[in-house]
Structure 1
Amino acid sequence: MKVTGEIMGISENGLGVLKYEDREFYVPFAYPGDVVSVKKAKRRFGRKIATDFGLIEESPLRQRPRCVHFGRCGGCLWQGLKYKEQLLLKAGAFERITGISAEIKGSPRIWSFRNVSNFIATTSGIGLKEYGNPLGVVGLTECPVFSKKTPKYLDALKGFLSETSLKPWDLRRKTGEVHYLQVKEGKFTGDVMVNLIAHVKPSGGVLEVFKGYFSFADSLYWSVKENERDDPRGDAQLVAGEPYIRERVEDVTYLIRPNSFFQTNSYALHILLKAVEGFTEGEKVLDLYAGVGTFGIYLAKRGFEVEGVEVNPFAVEVANKNAELNGAGARFMVGKAEETPIGEYDTVIVDPPRKGLNEAGELLVKSGVENVVYVSCNPRAFKLDYENHLKKTYRVEDTVLIDMFPHTPHVEAAVKLKKKW
């Protein structure tokens, strides 16, 4: 098989779309205006994904990628695309999916903007997953999207593994001892948290070696992982330094710890916070899916009376500490969003996981609250929540898109929903 043609569009998940006769091929790392040749493709989720392809003629939308691993690493599909074009494509994709035309605000920084990265340690390499290959790993030497210090973090991990003889994870056999290295940075504070995710508890000698190689970390954790799932999660235990690192966004200081969610782009976060503030009405605010209090504390510092609900008790603990640290009049409680009684609030803010609101959508409809601010990185989930639940009671009044994820097809949306009368 050999199919040659021009990429005429971009799919929802950021792949170039090549139409040939009555067939469509989806080509990674390809952009509108590229002329490509596809030699092999595999069917996945009902689509033909190109696995062997070549670039014949470059699109004028292209730019030179900064990372030497671009084209293999699964972290950045769009690094070869000019940033202005990335923004246009994201706004266009959001409108196609949701029917909403919205302004998009770019990230103030598009390099070294990520404040967290999860490096996988495997028998076939240490770095990030290879695009399209669940058993493939790209052995990184750099990551300009995460941090200039990436080589330092990776060298420390390699030295630690070599000296202790701990075995990295085997993705095929699902055996090994060290699985992930998670690094979090406070971009505005310089704080660094290192969290090793391993399938064994450390001995005293191993811990001393660990502390030695990562002595630069302000907060050092060892997480014991008791399952074979390929994710960077475990029971986190502090082994050295502070239990939290700090990030400061405008006038708010946030405490961050392992296993609690915080927006990954510190530099663009203030744009999202201002959008949410601009959509918030009244005085009393309920922050559902509150996490560590990212929205709630920012709003409380601006005079709103805030209560928050979050299912993760560790995140709630941090959120209340964040409120105390910032002198903010916000209170956070452990609970499920879909089981939360919504009382006399003027605005409810929801920032659900990627799957969306589900049952909590119907709860909002029945609550009678006049204003809802829906924050989402998944336009498909927002559309389903709106069409299946929220549309009964609410209309879309305004929307702002914020690019929290440069060089990827993802975009964050803040949508203001107003009760119909």
Structure 2
Amino acid sequence: MKAQGYIEEMSDEGLGVLKAEKPVYVPYTAVGDFVRVHKTRRRFGRYIAEKFEVVEFSQLRQTPRCMHFGKCGGCLWQHIKYKEQLKLKQENFKKITGIATDIKGSPKLFGFRNSSNFIVTTQGIGFKEYSRPLSIVDVKECPVFSSKTWEYLRTLKEFMREENLKAWNLKRKRGDVHYLSVREGKFTGEIMISLIAHIKLNEKFTEAFRDYFHFADSLYWSFKADERDDPRGEAELIAGEPYISEKIGDVVYLIHPNTFFQANSYALPLLLKAVEGFTEGEKVLDLYSGVGTFGIWLAKRGFKVEGVEVNSFAVEMANKNAELNGVDAVFRIGKAEETAIGDYDTAVVDPPRRGLKETAELLAKSSIENIIYVSCNPKAFKLDYENHLKKAYQIEDALLIDMFPHTPHVEAVINLKVKR
């Protein structure tokens, strides 16, 4: 399908929308661009521009910093001025949820990510192209992650070459090394390296691995037994400490290869303070508590926190974090949707992208007067609210925090109060 015209709006997924005979979704464009689309492909019932050119550039544009922008699927909006990015996020959030609210931008626009997973393939080492999971961009830099990106990747290539390790073949699903996972403590300077491989560690690999990545404070080899394309494996500590730490304000968090931690260390204080500002009473229930990111922060401010998390290892980490920070917080293993909700003043919920689902109905039937819903998926929040929470709660306030500059994603903190 061929088409041309002005980009009139941005889709929820961050693509420019060209309103032709049928809408055409054009990546890496901005409202006001005049584009000529030469080739499209169907994906999930929509026409996505595959070959196109921007004939006239929008005034909303800026020069992207990354040399890989336009191919790498990591940053769709690096070409859009940051103030305009924030406006777009507000507009998209309001369009989906009906909530008009303020947004706080990230204090840093580059070098803010504290973790990155580089896929190691026969095509190169780096990231997948936008909507093309079998096409890999062989990266030399990643400005949103770290100034040390090339050092990490060069070291990996040298190690693999010396040990004759083969990169993963995405089509044939075979190879030795699949991912390199790197985590940085932005405020502590600590570095964690984890190699996700399909071969088990031996003494020869161990010695060379330690030598090449001598700069890591924590070094892991993660054996991956399955062929799934994700950076997960059975982590084995090779050298250094089992955890690295990150310091956010007056709270120290321990980080392990197999636990989730918010990716933007610089914007995380804004998110934590937003949750704190909506918290009421003394007793807090922290559902989907993970490693205690919200719970530990609130406990440090005098709230009595009980957390529930289905991942047993995350619970272990959360309790370690509570002990490390000397706070009144206890975390236990359990499914959020099966939690017996007792006498709490505030519930903090930070569900996965799919939303609360059954847990929303559980909360609607509870006696908790104050709920703080942290959401990275406004569509899931809307479904939870319209189908369940709306029966007992009304939206009192909300705030958006930009944890993900140069992408269409945004983190929302929504305060719900019980209806009187």
> In which range does the TM-score fall when normalised by the shorter chain?
over 0.9
CA positional deviation for 1:88: 0.2
Write the distance in 2 (CA, Å) between the matches of 1:203 and 1:295.
39
Q: Identity, % of aligned pairs?
A: 66
> Which residue identity does 1:376 align to in structure 2?
S
- In the other structure, the counterpart of 1:142 is 141
**2:127 aligns to what?**
128
Report the equivalent of 1:7. 7
Counterpart in the other structure of 1:82: 81
Matching residue's letter, 2:267: A
CA distance in 1 between partners of 2:391 and 2:417 (Å): 11
Per-residue CA distance 1:11-33 (angstroms, 9 max, x = gap):
0000000001x310000001100
Matches within 5 A, 1:236-275: 236-275=235-274
The DSSP-based 3-state class of the residue aligned with 1:367 is coil
Residue number in structure 2 paired with 1:318:
317
Mapped partners of 1:391, 1:348: distance in 2? 16
CA contact (8 A) 2:2 2:40 kept: no
Q: Does 1:104 align with 2:103?
A: yes
Task: Give matches, 1:156-305, under 5 Å.
Answer: 156-305=155-304
Q: Tell me, in whole angstroms, the C-alpha distance in 2 between the residues paired with 1:220 and 1:199.
A: 17
Which residue number in structure 2 is paired with residue 329 of structure 1?
A: 328
- Tell me the TM-score normalized by structure 2: 0.99
Q: Quote how far apart the aligned CAs of 1:122 are.
A: 0.2
Using the alignment, how far apart are the partners of 1:217 and 1:335 within structure 2?
A: 34
One-letter amino acid matched to 1:19: K
Number of residue equivalences: 420
Distance in 2 between residues matched to 1:388 and 1:153, nearest whole Å:
47
TM-score (norm: length of structure 1):
0.99
Match of 1:37 in 2: 36
Runs ≥4 residues deviating over 3 A? none
CA drift of 1:387 comes to 0.7
Q: Using the alignment, how far apart are the partners of 2:364 and 2:89 within structure 1? A: 29
After superposition, what is the alpha-carbon deviation per residue over 1:15-69, rounded to whole angstroms, capped at 9, x for unaligned?
A: 000001x310000001100011101111111110000111101100000000000
The answer for unaligned runs of 5 or more in structure 1 is none
Task: Give ranges in structure 2 of 5+ residues lacking alignment.
Answer: none
1:16 aligned residue: 16
Q: Partner letter of residue 27 of structure 2?
A: P
**C-alpha distance in 2, partners of 1:380/1:409?**
13
Q: CA deviation at 1:286?
A: 0.5
Tell me the alpha carbon deviations over residues 98-145 of structure 1, each in whole angstroms, 9 at most, x when there is no partner. 000010000000100000000000001101111121111100100000
Which SS does the other structure have where 1:266 is aligned? Answer: coil
Tell me how far apart the structure 2 counterparts of residues 239 and 340 of structure 1 sit (CA, whole Å). 38
Aligned-partner Cα distance in 1 for 2:311–2:351:
13
Alignment partners' CA distance in 2, 1:367 and 1:260: 30
Could you say which residue in structure 2 is the equivalent of 1:72?
Answer: 71
Query: Per-residue deviation at 1:152?
Result: 0.6
Within the alignment, does 1:49 sit opposite 2:26 as a pair? Answer: no
